[in-house]
Structure 1
Amino acid sequence: MRTIVTAMDIRRAVTPAELSAAESLFDGPARTEWSERFLAAPGHVMLIAYVDGVPAGMVSGIEMSHPDKGTEMCLYELSVDEGYRRRGIGRDLTLALAEEAKARGCYGMWVGVDTDNEAALATYTSAGARDEGVFSMRGWPLAP
């Protein structure tokens, strides 16, 4: 049985202090200089879901533009604190980012998901995402 969250507020983060307060939702600590850079970059969005004033989830997005395609939103990362999962917070954050993307004039939004990440796939499907097929991701580690 799914518990519905009634006292949730989704707000855009605008200060490094907000990111620091929500760093339990990240893979590691929120470094001040990286937080400042993220927040200052045009096209970067961080939305935080608060339940009773406590950061319960976050979604980050980055606008990507190309001369022949226009601008789309990449859902970069979604995280919901374990104690708040299965309450619709991930879906609501995804929908809030989609609304932000629409308000910014983006023509679409996309996310890369591991094909075996059933929770993420269910969340994105419940928010209206369609399967556009399998792709392979390659990376270049540039940091020493």
Structure 2
Amino acid sequence: MDIRRARVVDELVAAEGLFDGPVREEWAVRFLGAPGHLMLIAYVDGVPAGMVSGVEMTHPDKGTEMCLYELSVDEGYRRRGIGRKLALALADEARARGCYGMWVGVDTDNQAALATYASAGARDEGVFAMRGWPLSDAP
């Protein structure tokens, strides 16, 4: 397995099966060009098998931390440690960028995700409630 940072839209399009929907070129360009945005793709025999995206967040009194925004492993490649390796690779990148920590929001009933993050060293920091504001019809 090889984990590489995505740098061009074609890499995201080739890994489109790992996302919830089709890659939109204008969004992909914006993501890849935004400072602090990061996409790592795991390849097995040259085939995209998993991905993790991260977003740096900086606050005046806290410094910079990494949000693990999304992790996905193709169904045919699950239970091989790819998700754990992707999470660890993102943590390594966050550390190299000077982030003081990394976090992820995860549904409390998503046992596969909870196990993956625990195996990568994430600790339970307690109950978390999430609220959202739909600002448009876009997904």
Aligned pairs for 1:53-92 within 5 A? 53-92=46-85
Matched residue, 2:39: 46
What CA distance in whole angstroms lies between the structure 1 residues aligned with 2:104 and 2:127?
Answer: 12
- How far has the Cα of 1:130 moved from its partner? 0.3
Match of 2:95 among 102, 105, 108: 102
Aligned pairs for 1:101-140 within 5 A? 101-140=94-133
What CA distance in whole angstroms lies between the structure 1 residues aligned with 2:120 and 2:129?
Answer: 23
Matched residue, 2:2: 9
What CA distance in whole angstroms lies between the structure 2 residues aligned with 1:104 and 1:44?
Answer: 12
Unaligned runs of 5+ in 1: 1-7
For the pair 1:142 / 2:130, whether they are aligned, the reply is no
Aligned pairs for 1:4-43 within 5 A? 8-43=1-36
Structure 2 residue matching 1:10: 3-state secondary structure:
strand
Structure 2 residue matching 1:72: 3-state secondary structure:
strand
AA at the equivalent of 2:29 = E
Matched residue, 1:4: none
Unaligned runs of 5+ in 2: none
Structure 1 residue matching 2:86: 3-state secondary structure:
helix
Moved over 6 A (4+): none
Please give the per-residue CA displacement for 1:79-122, whole angstroms capped at 9, x wherever unaligned.
Answer: 00000000000000000000000000000000000000000000
What CA distance in whole angstroms lies between the structure 2 residues aligned with 1:139 and 1:49?
Answer: 30
What CA distance in whole angstroms lies between the structure 1 residues aligned with 2:26 and 2:88?
Answer: 29
Structure 1 residue matching 2:127: 3-state secondary structure:
coil
Q: Using the aligned pairs only, state the percent identity.
A: 83
**C-alpha RMSD over aligned residues:** 0.4
| Aligned pairs, number | 137
- How far has the Cα of 1:13 moved from its partner? 0.0
